[in-house]
Structures are given as structure tokens and as C-alpha cells.
Amino acid sequence: MWFKNLAIYRLTEPFTLTPTELEEKLDELRFKPCSPIEEFSYGWSSPLGRGSDQLIHQANGFMMLCATKEEKVLPASVINEMTADKITEKEDQEARKLSKKERTELKDQIIFELLPRAFSFSKKTFAYIDSKGGWLIVDAASAKKAEELISFLRKNLGSLPLVPVSTKEKPVSRMTQWLIKNDAPADVLIEDECELRAPEEAGGIIRCKRQDLAAPEIKNHLDTGKQVIKLAISWSDRLSFIVDENLSIKRLKFLDLIQDQVADTETDSAEEQFDVDFTIMSQELSAFLPRLLELFGGENTN
């Protein structure tokens, strides 16, 4: 359950639904497995897993939700080969070339015939709403995956006024200056990984891992105008992560100070452990997010 990525969104209007009201809304689009003729299915499932029907897990004002997406696996090579065989067979029978529309219809027919026999796999996407702080946080490594959950939630609720969080100063500028001047804030430790990009269109990209970022070779790249678009940092000995140019957080880790707090809490069930983990994680992030914005000049509210 511990989030590994943070796609951060600002609620632009107060979120007023209670956990019970939100549960009732989500129940309208509860996840159902794919039918034999469906390519995919998307819906809400319990954050607690298969042993629970509860769609919202609430702790200290934070509301956790989980979307499940099931997709059928149809290898493109199989579809293309069967389509090509079918096209050849039909063209030989009718002694003519099929139109593009007819070829597409044949391909769709083959997909329809294969779907009931296809394997399927499912993936879960977790998110939580902090109505007091005004945040929606999605554990997603890509904007596409986060927007998929948000679009589905909007469909469910009718509206959901929010925007991706942004700051007054561009993260690229501030992170670049941290490396050039070696003057990161006291609570920020620059680690050993970054990605540099030349500012011109289609500019070169340098990826560094297990590298001293204060080394002369890194400074040489910065002196030629390359900018930091991803940077590995740790914050206050509590969190480590990669922050990118869009203020997305990747490879988030909760460090020993937090893990020790979890270990010191005794629980009697998986549900109680989930509740402890979620409470500690959400409280930690509620302290971290305002500081993250401060590091880049404060939140842009325009």
C-alpha cells in the first residue's frame, strides 16, 4: 500500500463528500471482471483487497480509494498473422483486392473471435483524497495512468475540480541551481542520480547513476547549458525520491525514521496494519507536500 509514486493534484474547490457518501457514489461503478467479449474493464475495488467490499478506507480525514483495470492479452503478431491469412483467403475467393475498410472489419472480427479465449491481467491504482489539505494524490508513475483514474472519478462524481500542482519557480531552474552552486536547502540531501537535458529542441540528454553530482564532469555539462530535469534527493532523513520537471515524484521510499514508527505499532490483523500504514504515510505526506512547494518558490495559484 505504501505509495511508490506521487502524481500531485490540487483540489480547486472544497471536497465536501463524506466517506459514506463517496462510497455510495463509487459503488455505482464497482469493478466487474471482463465479459467474454470485452477487451478491458475498469472500476472501483476495495483498497483492502479481495477480503473486503469496502470501497473507501478512511483514516484521520484521508480517504483511500482503489481502481482496478483488467485487460485481455491479444498478441499483435497473432492478430496480424490471422488477419493476413483471412485477407488472402477472401481476396482469392473473390478475385479482387479488399478495401481498407474491409481489411479493418476483418481484423475487428478476428479480435472479437479471439477475446473469449484471451488471457487477462489486472492492475490496481491507488489514490487518496485529503479534503482538509486540498489534495488528490495518485500512486502513478505516468500522467496517463493518473489521468485515467481522475477521468473515471469525474465520470462517477459528475465533476471534480482539480489541476496538477504547479510552483512559482520551475523545478528545472531550481534543481539546476542546486547543482551549479552546491547550495541545496539544509533539509535536502542531493543523492547520486540525475538527468540533464540541453534546453534546445531535441537537445541531448545525459543520465547519471551512482555518480557524484558535485564532480567536475557534471559541472561541465551544466556550464554548457544543460539543465536538471530529474534529480534524486532525500528530505529530512524521512523520504527519498526522484523529482522531475513536472513536480512528479518517482521511486518514493519511506526511510528508517518512518519504518521504525511502523514497526513500533502492534496490530492484530491485515486491516489494522493497512490502517496504520495509511495513517502514517498520509500524515507524513501532508507534512512533506507543503515543503515540496516551498522548495520551488511556493505554489502557483494563478
Q: Pull the grid cell for residue 278.
A: 495509511
In a domain, 157, yes or no: yes
Together in a domain, 45 and 105: no
Count CB atoms within 10 A of the CB of residue 172. Answer: 19
In a domain, 151, yes or no: yes
Taking residues 148-156, what's their average pLDDT? 96
Together in a domain, 257 and 210: yes
Together in a domain, 104 and 68: no
In a domain, 1, yes or no: no
In a domain, 127, yes or no: yes
pLDDT over 80 at 179, yes or no: yes
Together in a domain, 234 and 280: yes
pLDDT over 90 at 227, yes or no: yes
In terms of phi and psi (left: phi > 0; alpha: psi -120 to 50; beta: otherwise), the region of 115 is alpha
- For all residues of the chain together, what is the average pLDDT? 93
The strand pair at 162-164 and 40-45 is best described as: unpaired
pLDDT of amino acid 44:
98
Domain end residue (candidates: 130, 164, 198): 164
Q: Report how far residue 45's alpha carbon sits from residue 101's, in angstroms, rounded to the nearest whole number.
A: 39
Q: Pull the grid cell for residue 19.
A: 466517506
Query: Pick from 39, 13, 42, 32: which is nearest to 152 by CA?
Result: 42
Together in a domain, 183 and 276: yes
Together in a domain, 80 and 69: no
List phi, psi (to 5°) of 131: -70, -30
How many residues are listed for the chain in this entry?
302
pLDDT of amino acid 23:
96
In a domain, 302, yes or no: no
* pTM score: 0.86
Domain that holds residue 232: 171-295
| Predicted confidence (pLDDT) per residue in 89-147, tens digit | 888 888 888 899 988 988 988 888 887 777 888 999 999 999 999 999 999 999 999 99
Together in a domain, 141 and 195: no
Together in a domain, 182 and 195: yes
Distances (CA, A) of 298 to 64, 125, 166, 197, 302: 26, 28, 9, 24, 12
Together in a domain, 40 and 106: no
* Tally of domains in the chain: 3
pLDDT over 90 at 60, yes or no: no
Q: Report how far residue 84's alpha carbon sits from residue 87's, in angstroms, rounded to the nearest whole number.
A: 5
Q: What is the CA radius of gyration of the chain?
A: 24
Together in a domain, 261 and 250: yes
In a domain, 300, yes or no: no
Q: Which amino acid appears at position 254 of this protein?
A: F
Q: Pull the grid cell for residue 79.
A: 492478430
Count CB atoms within 10 A of the CB of residue 231. Answer: 26
Domain end residue (candidates: 135, 164, 193): 164
Q: Report how far residue 302's alpha carbon sits from residue 95's, in angstroms, rounded to the nearest whole number.
A: 65
In a domain, 37, yes or no: yes
Together in a domain, 26 and 139: yes
Together in a domain, 59 and 131: yes
